[in-house]
């Protein structure tokens, strides 16, 4: 019987140093990366082309292995850079003093006329008016304390991102974002402000403490489309360890919006939709409209039965059928790009999950295996990792393969 194995999900990372700095539900467990590295001790230079929160990079750096991280999302690129950086005592001391100054400023200033809040649509679904005021005060104080970018400010911005999601009404317990009903809250603004400030200080202290441990390996984080992987300046990669967006995930923007709006990476819903359209597996906002008229042109997927799968989904939703079709066309383009930057004998490891759309099960792992073979990889292997926390037939797999030696 296949088990759910929470230790192979993001939950395992939450209390493990830098790995717990910010939750992203699709993130995979550090155990997956560690096991791959332990089983393949010859690995020296890793690529993660869907790097997300930088899990692969941190594990590689902890094991003195060089790694390049690639992501198209500017917020995730910023966050991964903060996560894999080495911090001097001066940086940590500045962050420590900043926490104290920010909390003292917010606690003693009763009115701020120039508070700013992000232009998130229907923002009061995310935060009550009182909570929004307190968060805006902290953000104002943080930028007043650190008016220009710095390592200390980066660490406290990570703490602030934790804070805004902890005090939001958002619920990320299923595929469609929902909001909790907090209409019966009884706390006063004063009580809640003190609680929020204490939690900000606590989160910041935890982040600063984890940042004290230096990382050994060199990690570079690049903002680029994973369908166009640039050739590395220092040779070729001998390993890929990654977990692309799953077909039924359909949007990273969904979960990242609060952070991206607060830190200025998004200013409008249209920007969010445009970024999602550029990414593989995005359907947010305007991306949905564009999917309705998308055409594969001359590109096709050679997996037996693929056209029938798309046809079955299109009977219920042409938009979803186009989404699934475009997803695999994009993954094929990505794998071709990856193949070109790998050294002979390099191994690749893709963590993927199968998906169901209406009554049609999409064998994602088998399609990935087919795409890898189509692009010239050999020794393709598919192994079940765990059962996912959803329908019984949905599983997570590791699809591995090797570039020929010559």
CATH code of the domain in which 295 resides: 3.40.50.150
Q: Is residue 1 part of a domain?
A: no
Q: Is residue 196 part of a domain?
A: yes
Q: What are phi and psi of 405, to 5 degrees?
A: -65, -30
pLDDT at 186: 46
| Residue 396: strand pairing partners | 353, 386
Asked if residue 200 and residue 80 are part of one domain, the reply reads no
Q: Is residue 146 part of a domain?
A: yes
pLDDT at 111: 72
| Residue-number span of the structural domain to which 19 is assigned | 6-86+215-402
Asked if residue 226 and residue 181 are part of one domain, the reply reads no
Q: What share of the chain is helix, strand, coil (3-state, %, to 5)?
A: 45, 15, 40
Asked if residue 195 and residue 75 are part of one domain, the reply reads no
- Token look-up 């590791």 returns 398
Q: Is residue 347 part of a domain?
A: yes
Asked if residue 301 and residue 228 are part of one domain, the reply reads yes
- H-helix segments, 188-316: 189-211, 253-262, 269-278, 286-291, 306-314
Under DSSP, the state recorded for 9 is B
Asked if residue 107 and residue 34 are part of one domain, the reply reads no
Give dist(CA 217, CA 314) in Å, integer: 47
Give dist(CA 162, CA 256) in Å, integer: 11
Q: Is residue 227 part of a domain?
A: yes
> Which 3 state secondary structure label does DSSP give 321?
helix
Asked if residue 229 and residue 202 are part of one domain, the reply reads no
**Sign (positive or negative) of CA dihedral 323, 324, 328, 334:** positive
pLDDT at 145: 97
**Last residue of some domain: 159, 184, 211?**
211
Asked if residue 231 and residue 165 are part of one domain, the reply reads no
Helix H or strand E segment including 401: strand 395-402
pLDDT at 109: 81
Burial class (CB in 10 A: 0-12, 13-18, 19+), 39: exposed
Structurally, how many domains does the chain consist of? Answer: 2
Give dist(CA 299, CA 296) in Å, integer: 6
**Last residue of some domain: 185, 211, 237?**
211
Give dist(CA 351, CA 49) in Å, integer: 12
What are the structure tokens assigned to 8, written together?
């192979």
Asked if residue 44 and residue 152 are part of one domain, the reply reads no
Give dist(CA 289, CA 9) in Å, integer: 32
Of the candidates 349, 322, 326, 327, the residue with the CA atom closest to the CA atom of residue 338: 349
Q: Is residue 326 part of a domain?
A: yes
Q: Is residue 258 part of a domain?
A: yes
**Sign (positive or negative) of CA dihedral 367, 370, 371, 372:** positive
Give dist(CA 53, CA 82) in Å, integer: 10
**Last residue of some domain: 211, 240, 260?**
211
pLDDT at 297: 81
Q: Mean pLDDT, consecutive 10-residue segments, the chain of 406 residues? A: 54 69 77 94 96 94 96 96 97 98 91 86 91 95 97 98 92 60 54 94 97 95 96 92 84 84 94 89 82 87 96 94 94 97 98 92 97 98 82 86 94
Asked if residue 367 and residue 313 are part of one domain, the reply reads yes
| Residue 282: strand pairing partners | none
pLDDT at 191: 83
Q: Is residue 125 part of a domain?
A: yes
Q: Give a three-class secondary structure readout of 16-42.
A: CHHHHCCCCCCCECHHHHHHHHHHCCC
Of the candidates 9, 57, 72, 80, the residue with the CA atom closest to the CA atom of residue 253: 72
Asked if residue 152 and residue 196 are part of one domain, the reply reads yes
Asked if residue 189 and residue 274 are part of one domain, the reply reads no
Asked if residue 395 and residue 274 are part of one domain, the reply reads yes
């Amino acid at each position: 019987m296949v088990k759910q194995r929470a230790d192979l999900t993001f939950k395992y990372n939450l209390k493990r140093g830098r790995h717990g700095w910010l939750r992203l539900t699709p993130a995979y467990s550090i155990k997956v990366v560690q096991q791959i590295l332990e089983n393949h001790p010859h690995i020296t230079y890793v690529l993660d082309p869907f790097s997300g929160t930088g899990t692969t990079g941190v594990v590689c750096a902890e094991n003195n292995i060089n790694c390049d991280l690639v992501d198209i999302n500017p917020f995730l690129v910023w966050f991964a850079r903060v996560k894999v950086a080495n911090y001097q005592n001066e940086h940590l001391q500045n962050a420590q003093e900043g926490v104290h100054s920010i909390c003292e400023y917010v606690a003693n200033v009763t009115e701020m006329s120039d508070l700013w809040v992000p232009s998130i649509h229907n923002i009061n679904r995310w935060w009550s008016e009182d909570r929004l005021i307190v968060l805006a005060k902290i953000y104002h104080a943080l930028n007043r304390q650190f008016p220009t970018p710095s390592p200390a400010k980066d660490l406290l911005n990570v703490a602030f991102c934790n804070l805004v999601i902890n005090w939001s009404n958002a619920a990320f317990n299923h595929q469609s974002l929902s909001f909790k009903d907090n209409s019966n809250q009884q706390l006063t603004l004063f009580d809640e402000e003190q609680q929020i400030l204490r939690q900000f200080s606590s989160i910041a202290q935890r982040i600063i403490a984890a940042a004290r441990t230096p990382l050994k390996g060199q990690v570079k984080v690049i903002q680029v489309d994973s369908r166009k992987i640039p050739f590395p300046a220092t040779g070729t990669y001998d390993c890929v360890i990654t977990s692309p967006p799953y077909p039924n995930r359909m949007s990273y923007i969904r979960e990242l919006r609060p952070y991206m709006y607060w830190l200025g990476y998004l200013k409008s819903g249209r920007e969010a939709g445009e970024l999602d359209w550029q990414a593989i597996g995005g359907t947010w906002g305007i991306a949905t409209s564009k999917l309705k008229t998308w055409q594969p042109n001359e590109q096709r997927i050679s997996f037996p039965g693929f056209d029938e799968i798309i046809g079955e989904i299109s009977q219920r939703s042409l938009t979803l059928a186009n989404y699934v079709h475009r997803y695999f066309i994009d993954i094929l383009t990505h794998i071709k790009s990856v193949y070109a930057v790998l050294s002979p004998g390099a191994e690749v490891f893709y963590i993927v999950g199968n998906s169901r759309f209406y009554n049609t099960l999409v064998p994602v792992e088998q399609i990935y295996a087919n795409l890898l073979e189509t692009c010239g990889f050999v020794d393709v292997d598919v192994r079940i990792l765990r059962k996912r926390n959803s329908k019984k037939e949905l599983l997570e797999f590791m699809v591995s393969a090797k570039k020929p030696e010559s």
